[in-house]
A and B are shown apart, each in its own frame.
Chain A
Amino acid sequence: MSKMLDSIPTLPVADTVENVMDWLTGSFSPLFDFVQNGGKTAMEFITGMLVAIPPVVFILMIALIAFFATKRKFGLAIFSIVGLFYIYNQGLWDELMNTITLVIFASIIAIIIGIPIGILMSKSSVAEAIIKPILDFMQTMPGFVYLIPAVAFFGIGVVPGVFASVIFALPPTVRFTNLGIRQVPKELVEAADSYGSTGWQKLLKVELPLARSTIMAGINQTVLLSLSMVVIASMIGAPGLGREVLSALQRAQVGNGFVAGLSLVVFAIIIDRLTQSLNKKKS
């Protein structure tokens, strides 16, 4: 029986993928170079600006935003002050700024790509049938795997890190946008249609506003996923807190690993609560 199985030669899946990748890198290398250089410059500029802000000002700013975003409650504001001070105190401030830039870039790109795809999915059952399995594939594939094409396209550094994070963090925004629009009550869609709305009017005046909180939940997921990818992306040279975790791992420094890991947790909690409270604000 096993002989019969063995009689079939190994299918050239790996070779094929490699060939495709080679072709892509070969044919589009000017584009990739451009993105790599442009992206790197933009991100370094942002990081530079963030680092230039005095830490005290930055901490107070975040605390203020947290205070007003949570309807003038002190909980998150105090947590932000204590948590950010801890990160500063441990000498990880610059790494934090790098991480923030990476998360912001990856999230914004994922949202810009994800929401239109989600809208397309909600409008066309054919598109949904095609995109859904792709999303499943993207979410079940281990995050590490995305590092390989990222390196192939962009070499090492921050841009491939963002690239891998975008792919990894994209699915929730797409899914939740689709879900949110499909969940708009049928009667309201009919109301919009019966008054002679165009497709765009219906989308902008009725569907997106009503899907808003669902889409925001997806964006919250996307932001957190891109943060979790930041650690992994440090393997291909993306700067930030992830790199500290990685180097602690490589040298078996439990203490340093814990410090950097805790910093990531603090940062994750702050952006999670902030994006969630943005969602609750209006309703």
Chain B
Amino acid sequence: MEKIKVQHVTKIFGKHITNALKLVEEKKSKTEILEKTGATIGVYDANFTVNEGEIFVIMGLSGSGKSTLVRLLNNLIETTSGSIYIDGEDISKMNKQQLRKIRREKMSMVFQNFGLFPQRTVLANTEYGLEVRGIPKEERRLKAEKALDNAGLLPYKDQYPSQLSGGMQQRVGLARALANDPDILLMDEAFSALDPLIRKEMQDELLDLQQKVKKTIIFITHDLNEALRIGDRIALMKDGKIIQIGTGEEILTNPANDYVKTFLEDVDRSKVLTVENAMIRPITVNIELDGPKVALQRMREEEVSVLLAIDKKRAFKGYITADDALEAAKRGEKSVVSFLKTDMPTVPKDMLIQDVLGLISESPTPIAVVNENKLVGVLIRGVVIQSLASETEGVTKDE
């Protein structure tokens, strides 16, 4: 299951590398090392594993070392110390031939500015990886055409990259990577040069594609929203160090330190979104009219296990759970009041999401949203995170 394993990987640029490495071991800071030795820390003691079939996002602002890190994975940049295992083999100890074999057969890269060869047609670009492997002409043409067909680009195969739009060029970049049928895709800010609408489209396409082909994908981005949308797990980098690794939800609800917190505040939309933007329609039960059987029926219908309780004036009264309702129905009770729970927190609908994130992560139940004492919605953790990640408001922080 473990596809990529990165162990104590450090990359130092410049001279006096051994001195700098010593200082790294002494846990000195990046600026201190730069002052003392003139060496720049690219990546600093990185440790993580990526599982097969996972989309692993490495996120950080520019200069955080994320692009260096992804280039260490296919040895475009050599590691200074540490080990990188691909399927259990340490690539930092490989000779040129072994490395070429890995690059040709196991991993392909997609670039921020597409990295297409301008003098080659779309088809010839897509064939490139197969061509350098020495695959016969006819076979590589068929494979490349199939990859282009999957991307819906077959009609453009004889055009040159400069004749295509950015989004289409990146689809060619992706088709070129997939034509090789690699296990691992390295995507370096692959969608960052595209405009927001196209970017979202490409993200969706990538997710669809991932459903079908199940590659192991390392995705580099500076955009939190993108990271949350597509990442199974996210590693957050700063100054060459990985600060936190976790699912989007873990990072959002439980930032490892102040830096992560400010980064999130800086980038995400929780600052501008109010509770009203993130809430969903509540499934309710009327405590003055409905009994346990009606409640159970409604839960089945809406496929939920909790109903929010209101009275005739839609005032919020609490909630009931399916287990309690079932018990009560068995006992033949006619009202839900006897097992009504009231420990659900409430928030006003115009509160900022930023201010309720803590509450959301702590509360075992969803949160009721009220307006002038009336129930207007409900906040569910997953939906809140999704709304933070959505692109509709266009407040992405771009470089």
Contact = CB atoms under 8 A, between A and B. Distances in A.
B76 A190 contact: yes
Nearest to A201: B132
A195 B104 contact: yes
B119 A210 contact: yes
A160 to B, nearest CB: 40
A209 B129 contact: no
Nearest to B134: A201
Given A190-B76, A193-B103, A198 B111 contact: no
Interface residues of A, number: 18
Contacts of B108: 194-195
A147 B172 CA distance: 56
Contacts of A198: 100, 132
A148 interface: no
A187 B119 CA distance: 15
Given A196-B101, A196-B132, A205-B132, A191 B111 contact: yes
- Looking at A188, A195, A198, A210, the one whose CB has the most chain B CB atoms below 10 A away is A195
Interface string B128-152: 1101110000000000000000000
A188 B161 CA distance: 13
B337 to A, nearest CB: 66
Given A195-B129, A196-B133, A188 B117 contact: yes
Interface class of chain A by DSSP: helix
A206 interface: yes
B111 A190 contact: yes
Nearest to A193: B76
A25 B275 CA distance: 92
A193 B76 CA distance: 7
Interface string A217-247: 0000000000000000000000000000000
A197 interface: yes
B109 interface: yes
Nearest to B107: A194
B81 interface: no
Interface in B165-187: 180, 186
Contacts of A196: 99-105, 129, 132-133
Contacts of B101: 196
Interface in B52-79: 71, 74, 76
B251 to A, nearest CB: 29
B203 interface: no
A210 B161 CA distance: 14
Nearest to B101: A196
A201 B99 CA distance: 15
Interface string B91-123: 000000001111111011101110111110000
Given A187-B113, A190-B76, A195 B119 contact: no
A179 B71 CA distance: 25
Interface string B14-25: 000000000000
A192 B109 CA distance: 10
Contacts of B186: 194
Contacts of B71: 190
A185 B133 CA distance: 23
Contacts of A190: 71, 76, 109, 111, 115
Contacts of A212: 119
Interface string A237-274: 00000000000000000000000000000000000000
Contact of A195 (B99, B112, B116, B128): B128
B277 to A, nearest CB: 38
B174 to A, nearest CB: 13
A89 B76 CA distance: 63
Interface of B: 71, 74, 76, 99-105, 107-109, 111-113, 115-119, 128-129, 131-133, 180, 186
Given A187-B115, A191-B111, A194-B103, 14 more contacts: A190-B76, A190-B111, A190-B115, A191-B117, A194-B74, A194-B76, A194-B108, A195-B104, A195-B129, A195-B132, A195-B180, A196-B132, A198-B100, A210-B119
12 contacts: A185-B113, A187-B113, A190-B109, A191-B111, A191-B116, A194-B74, A194-B103, A194-B186, A195-B108, A197-B132, A198-B100, A209-B117
